[in-house]
Chains A and B, each alone.
Chain A
């Protein structure tokens, strides 16, 4: 109980100091206040945004795109990871292609996406899925590979079917690594959905931030960034909570 209050207290102190420095920097003109307004000027705008519920629409839009892309990435990442982790043939076939696509910056692939998918949700979801796919894939592969040989041999001795082997032995054993990969993918997916919304924009939080920057509505822009920060932290915390529930034996 006490350590929890200490943690909350120090967090509060920490952020208060940051906001205080920000306030001074802006009002004392260390930075151009037109470009970086003080928190006191941003707060009313942000409050209006929250109170009117205006932030819901774009936020839901962004989160929905993220959810779909993320789900596709996780499912395909685990499936391909299982395949490639178990079969050397599959690994040899797919690894060069995967290693070739992975380092490409996604915005460089926008012309190709546009050509096949056009403007709209499909393109954004694809960008999110493509980016989020790799960490899940790699971690699943590592997890599958790292399953204790003894477990595998025992299962074979007991005559377990391939399906049971996978679902009852391999997946649970690989779960910590898979979840770790999924956590990285979540962060990456959020980055990509915002990026995609900025590149091909019509709605969503990413578009809002970019549009407000382009029309120089700086206070509104920072308000949306605040909304995004809260969303990011919440998503992360939620994931960590789920992770703890699913793998209680795995201490961090």
Chain B
């Protein structure tokens, strides 16, 4: 069972329908508005604490300054270029990791021997914390593109693999028996039966992976970077421009949310047969 990756709303009360609708329309406390108000009030608190000197530090600039810095950094292109570099790594690493994960998931799910031989190292690697693998990878791959894409691929690999493997293993035996009865060849069985059946699980895994890919790419850039948002964050910190740094962090939050939403939309189109 894979962990869910987004939150979904609890049901409304079991009151009669008409009453429910009437209450819902006038009951603004039941909309996300309260949540946004909470965020807004926290930001106001931040602004006041910075401007009135409750918290004095270069690392605590007022929110309005951060917003200004964000607009400047984006329009000057500095942050936009960094973002593009990061997204390139994210996409490439995610693609490599996912493709390998699906391929291995199918192979290991179907072939017992391959499963027994190849899965133990994968399991060990999965439980290894990523940051611990980073130092030896830095030694081996240097601090160039290869390192970052490898790290992102590794991180993207595991959620997709776990799901693909479980899905292939759990494929309804009726489907497989039908395929065998009709003497469908291996590749047709694969394309027409296995993949579509496993696809929902795989996509769920990919949705988790894309967020992880973004986070890992940024972390890799922070630790050993020369370009990208992670490196931009660090260099702004060291240039004593914390407002620009926080602006980049805010941008990351927005990009992360957007990636997630885009993926959900893509998932909806690909898995068109599923009613959501």
Contact = CB atoms under 8 A, between A and B. Distances in A.
Nearest to B211: A103
Given A35-B140, A225-B132, A114 B32 contact: no
Interface string B133-177: 101101110000000000000000000000000000000000000
Interface of A is mostly: helix
Select the residue from B113, B116, B121 with max chain A CB neighbours within 10 A: B116
A102 B256 CA distance: 9
Interface footprint category on A: 35 or more
Contacts of A225: 128, 132-133, 136
A240 B1 CA distance: 13
Contacts of B248: 108
Interface in B203-262: 211, 214-215, 218-219, 222, 230, 233, 237, 242, 245, 248-249, 252-253, 256-257, 260
A16 B230 CA distance: 38
B60 interface: yes
A6 interface: yes
Contacts of A99: 6-7, 257
A96 B35 contact: yes
Contacts of A222: 136
A230 B11 CA distance: 44
A6 B127 contact: no
A93 interface: yes
Interface stretch (A67-75, A161-169, A175-183): A175-183
B272 to A, nearest CB: 24
Interface in A90-116: 91-105, 107-109, 111-112, 114-115
Interface of B: 1-12, 29-36, 38-39, 42, 55, 57, 59-60, 113, 116-118, 120-121, 123-124, 126-133, 135-136, 138-140, 211, 214-215, 218-219, 222, 230, 233, 237, 242, 245, 248-249, 252-253, 256-257, 260
B139 A229 contact: no
A14 B121 contact: yes
Contact of B29 (A92, A102, A114): A92
Contacts of A115: 55, 57, 59-60
Select the residue from A109, A193, A210 with max chain B CB neighbours within 10 A: A210
Contacts of B218: 105, 107-108
B139 A213 contact: yes
Interface in A28-61: 31, 35-36
A104 B3 contact: no
A194 B129 contact: yes
A84 interface: yes
